[in-house]
Amino acid sequence: MDGILAAVPSAVCVSLRISCRNLDNAESIYHFPGKSLNRVSVLQTGNYVSRKGNSLLKNRHCGEISRVIVKSAASSVGNAEDYAEETATSVKFKRSVTLPGCSSPLSLLGTGFREKKFAIIGVKVYAAGYYVNESILSGLSAWTGRSADEIQRDSSLFVSIFQAQAEKSLQIVLVRDVDGKTFWDALDEAISPRIKSPSSEDTTALSTFRGIFQNRPLNKGSVILLTWINTSNMLVSVSSGGLPTNVDATIESGNVTSALFDVFFGDSPVSPTLKSSVANQLAMTLV
């Protein structure tokens, strides 16, 4: 119990102690114009407001209220540690996830956002979190001791991550409503130029990819998972909110999957903040 109390903000504890000592006098009296005889007693804990005089205060022991507040505060502290926030969009990403089609949990390696410019105004479209199977990191010992800037400039490191025979995934969270076709057109605009001579396999894969988003509204909060199972197979999952639980399609083309990876981690990434965040985390991990 002492350990839990230590995690509760001191202001909460002080307020709680004062409330307990003054249990019999814990009324806040408000007088309304023209109704001086009407009195409203208020006890507020979080969003809960109790009226009707002392009915709650005198029927519930202070210790019970204390336990509820302590449990809630401790739970909030614990939950916060399980997430990382992408600060520009305030989107929170779980530090560890188990995704559809993956054999083991993946760990968050960095976050960023995608911004689209209209005239001279930058509009944030989505936040992104990049996850990897931690076994991938053991194969990056050649970059031990490198700075974040060196890692970010070294394309061979990201190529090694892509070629590693373990799952990695990009989680995209929309921060504004986007038409599915518009989303795909923007993605295709980045992918297609990276495939110099598309094969029939590439064309089929792009058609499958396109079909996932056609006539599909992507509302704010929608989540898209792009999960590389290996260098030639990528799973696509979409949900209207929260992590998807099913795979919507499998993209089977080494050129398409590698082109998509390059869109985010190549020399000209569509989200520089994501690549920078991943480089910073790698620099702290590879020591």
Per-residue pLDDT in tens (0 to 9) along the chain, 287 residues: 444 334 444 444 444 444 444 444 443 333 333 333 333 333 333 333 334 444 443 444 444 434 443 344 444 444 678 999 999 999 999 999 999 999 899 999 999 999 987 666 779 999 999 999 999 999 999 999 999 999 999 899 999 999 999 999 999 999 999 999 999 999 999 999 999 999 999 999 999 999 999 989 999 999 999 999 999 999 999 999 999 999 999 999 999 999 999 999 999 999 999 999 999 999 999 99
Distance, in Å, from the CA atom of 214 to the CA atom of 196, rounded to the nearest integer, reads 25
What the block records as the tokens of 40 is 């409203």
Which residues touch 143 (CB under 8 Å, ≥6 apart)? Answer: 151, 154, 157, 282, 286
| Residue 181 vs residues 126, 178, 249: alpha-carbon distances, Å | 15, 8, 16
Residue type, 270: V
Domain residue spans in the chain? 84-286
The correct answer on CATH 3.30.365.10 for the domain covering 84-286 is no
What is the spatial distance between Cα 32 and Cα 273, in angstroms, rounded to a whole number? 53
Q: For 98-137, give the DSSP string.
A: --TT-SS-EEEEEEEEEEEEETTEEEEEEEEEEEE-GGGG
Residue 126 is assigned to a ligand binding site: yes
